[in-house]
Amino acid sequence: QVDDAQSTVSVEFTPTIPHCSMATLIGLSIKVKLLRSLPERFKLDVHITPGTHASEHAVNKQLADKERVAAALENSHLLEVVNQCLSARS
């Protein structure tokens, strides 16, 4: 959902299975793609669809924490994995 007047973007995603170990990486990749694509004025909210993941509260908390997201993106290995997730494949 995009609210241009309020400068907010909210994305809800559903992991493939309730115990998906990649849910945080998927959410982080979505958030990074939006951060890179949207003007800085937008406030982003990326979260798991309620009731679709065993650790949804913990994952949502991580994705909502600006400091944790920034720290994750300072990790060169993790940033490379995120970039691979976002790269176009031929």
pLDDT in tens, the chain (90 residues): 999 999 999 999 999 999 999 999 999 999 999 999 999 999 999 999 999 999 999 999 999 999 999 999 999 999 999 999 999 775
Helix (H) or strand (E) holding 13: strand 8-13
Question: Measured between alpha carbons, how far is 1 from 67 in angstroms, rounded to an integer?
Answer: 24
Tell me the residue type at 64. A
Query: Does residue 73 contact residue 80 with C-beta atoms inside 8 Å?
Result: no
CB within 8 A of 84, min separation 6: which ones?
none
Tokens for 28? Answer: 């982080």
Q: The CATH number of 1-84 is which of 3.30.300, 2.60.40, 3.20.20, 2.40.160? A: 3.30.300
